[in-house]
Structure 1
Amino acid sequence: MDGTAEEFRRRATDRYGIDPDVETFPEGTETAADAAAAVGCDVAQIASSLVFDADGDLVVVVTSGANRVSEPRLADHVGADGVSMAAPGRVRDVVGWAVGGVPPICHDADLPVYLDSSLLDHDTVWAAAGAPTAVFPIAPAELAELADADAIAVSE
């Protein structure tokens, strides 16, 4: 396991009292399709953590790998004039993780987190564990609780 995945595991244990079952895949899990192929699950079970800039403020959306976030719908939900994907450097600086490995929890900043409500249709979802080669399984209801995430319909 690389250092960033190890750091994620340590933070998850320290902050939330959980010991996530982090699995690493040398071929990478950077995209939802890559992660689903590596894990052997449906792409809809991949919980992708995307960071958006909403009028200058960052928000995290944990969405199903089968869905695409509707930026206008997200903007309406957060009361912003507009949203767009956050710049990778800003994600790293503020959230503490690089794009492709952003986990749904253990962020450096206290950011609002929203959960794609379609993830709740699954018993288990797989989320990034701090590196583009690492994921961990979790029940979506537990994920929502740990992330203090509001479940919303945010896909196109």
Structure 2
Amino acid sequence: MKKIAPPARLAAAFEQAGLADIDVLEFPDGTRSAADAARAVGCDISDIGKSLIFQGKNTQTPVLIIMNGADRVCENKVEAVIGEAIGKADATQVKDHTGYAIGGVPPFGHANAIRTLIDEKLLAKPAIWLAAGTPRSVFCLTPAQLCHITGITKGHILDQNAP
């Protein structure tokens, strides 16, 4: 593992949030999946915040869901929050919406503004590991830091356990 500079948009987001001292780490074996990232960092897979891009089926509006690495997104719950049926964005759509390739999408610092939702389970973690713009790099934030940078509020939280 080595410390690297984050991509420009991600670095600018850190700077704007007053978090320019966040370390971005690169792992030679990669962090493309939540399981890969957990192995590389040495944490539980549920400590990984995977950034998943969906989009409205009618409006094509992108939605970023920051989900704990151990669970899958309940699309019905997302649809209830955003008021529209959703589908997973393909690789080209992810790149167009965020500026990053699948496997390296950070939770902020995107090419375009994206509505963001977060899995409630991540908010109970002391630290969350997140993709840093490449399939080999990650960084760590507290839930409070992540909410501050992304603007996540109560209306952006997904309770995966709710009926």
Report the TM-score when normalising by structure 1: 0.91
Match of residue 151 from structure 1: 157
CA shift digits 1:66-112 (9 cap, x unpaired): 110011111111100x2111011011112111110000011111111
Residues 1:77 and 2:81 are matched in the alignment: yes
Match of residue 31, structure 1, among 27, 33, 41 = 33
SS state of the match for residue 69, structure 1?
coil
Which amino acid is the alignment partner of residue 11 of structure 2? R
Matched residue, 1:100: 103
CA distance in 2, matches of 1:36, 1:7: 25
Distance in 1 of aligned mates of 2:114 and 2:72? 21
Shift of 1:154: 3.9
**Aligned AA for 1:41?**
C
Report the equivalent of 1:17: 18
Residues in 2 aligned to 1:50 and 1:116: alpha-carbon distance in whole angstroms? 11
Q: 1:75 to 1:118 in 2, by over 3 A?
A: same
Q: How many residues align?
A: 155
Q: Find the aligned partners of 1:3 and 1:99 in 2 and give their Cα distance.
A: 20
Are 2:54 and 1:52 aligned? yes
Cα drift, residue 119 of structure 1 = 0.2
The runs of 5 or more residues in structure 1 that have no matched partner are none
Give the RMSD, CA atoms, in angstroms: 2.1
Match of 1:142 among 142, 145, 150: 145
Q: Go from structure 1 to structure 2 and tell me whether the alpha carbon gap of 1:54 and 1:141 turns closer, same or farther (over 3 Å shift).
A: same
Counterpart of 1:128? 131
Instruction: Compute the TM-score of the two structures, normalised by the length of structure 2.
Output: 0.87
Deviation, structure 1 residue 3: 8.6
Q: In the superposition, relative to structure 1, how do residues 14 and 121 fare at CA in structure 2: closer, same or farther (>3 Å)? A: closer
Out of 57, 62, 68, the residue aligned to residue 64 of structure 1 is 68
Segments of structure 2 that go 5 or more residues without pairing to the other structure are: none
Distance 1:100 1:147, change over 3 A: same
Cα–Cα, structure 1 residues 64 and 41, in superposed 2: closer, same or farther, change >3 Å? same
Percentage identity across paired residues of the two chains: 34
Q: Helix, strand or coil for the counterpart of 1:5?
A: coil
Cα distance in 2 for residues equivalent to 1:6 and 1:123: 25
Amino acid of the structure 2 residue aligned with 1:57: T
Partners of 1:53 and 1:134 lie apart in 2 by 25
1:5, CA displacement in angstroms?
3.5
